[in-house]
Amino acid sequence: MKLEADAPADTLRYRAPDGTELAYWVRGAFETSRAPLVLTNGLTTTTSFWHYLEPRWLQHHRVLSWDLPGHGLSSPAQSPSSAQLSEQAELIVRLMDEAHIERAVQVGWSTGCQVVLELYRRYPERCCALVLLLGSAGRVLSTSTLPVPGVAIDWLVRNMPRPLFGGIARALAYASHAPLGQLAPRALGVIGSATTHADAARITEHLLRIDTPTVQTMIASAHAHSAWEMLGTIQVPVLIVAGDRDPFAPAATVGVEMHARCPEAELVRLPEGTHTALFDHAGRIGDAVEDFLQRRVLAAGATVRA
C-alpha cells in the first residue's frame, strides 16, 4: 500500500509477518522519565481522533500512535489474524519493539479498549497502566443502544457476502459525508451535538476510505471478543472514562460495570459524553488522564529499551 500524498513526513512503516503494512508514529518528549503512551484507535477511525489530546501528551511523554489494518495509512489486513481484535495485541507488541519501548501506558478508545485489555491478558509486563476511553470490555454489540439490536447487526455482519457488505458500507459512507449526512449520527449520539462539523467530517471522510473486508471481520471479532472475566485480575492502575450518552458503551451499563469488576480502576463519567467525546470533551478527558498519570503512574515510570 502506497502512502497517501498528504501523509505526515514522520510516518513510519512496519510490515507484519503476514504482509500487513502498518503506519505508525513515534513522537514527543524522548528524554523523559515519564512513561511512554501507546494510543490504539477504534473501528473505522484513524489517529485523527487524537487531534486534540495527543499534542497535550507529547509535551511530557513519548507517544506511539498507529492506524489499524484497513484504516488510515495502514494496508488492508493480509490475513484474518490481523483483522481480529483479539490478535491485534500482537501488532502493538511488535510496534513497541520497533520503537524500543519496553513498557507503556496503553490508551485505547472504543474497540481499542478491547485490544488494550487483550494486550494486558497476554503481555502484562508491557503495560504500566491502562486508560480505557469510551469503550467496553467486550461483546460491544450487546451493550449498544442503537435502534438495530446488536444481535441482528452481528448476524448480518457474519452472514452477509463481502461484496454486499462493501456496497452497503460505501453507500452509508457517502450518505454520512453528504451535506446533511451528519443529522442521523448526531441524533443517535454517535456524533455529539457539540462536535464541530469539521471534526465530524474527519470521521465521515475516512469512512469513504476504509477497507471494508477488513472492517467486516473486525466488527464480528469485536462482538466475539470478551475481557470481562479478566477485569478483576488486573494489577496495574486503570482509568475508565465513560459517556452517559454514548450509544456504544453507555456509562450506566458499561463503564459502571467495568469499574465494579476492576478493583484497580478509577471511573470518570461524562454526563454529556457521546462516542465522539475525544473531540468535544477533550479538555475534560485530557485533565482526567494527566491527573491519573501524575498520581498513579509517574512515580513508577517505564523502561525504554536502548
**Residues 78-118: pLDDT tens digits?**
999 999 988 999 999 999 999 999 999 999 999 999 999 99
Give me the pLDDT at residue 2, please. Answer: 41
Give me the pLDDT at residue 217, please. Answer: 93
Ranges of residues in the chain with a pLDDT under 70 are 1-5, 299-306
Give me the pLDDT at residue 1, please. Answer: 38
C-alpha cell, 91: 501488532
Give me the pLDDT at residue 89, please. Answer: 96
Domains identified in the chain and CATH numbers: 12-296 (3.40.50.1820)
pTM over 0.75: yes
Give me the pLDDT at residue 213, please. Answer: 93
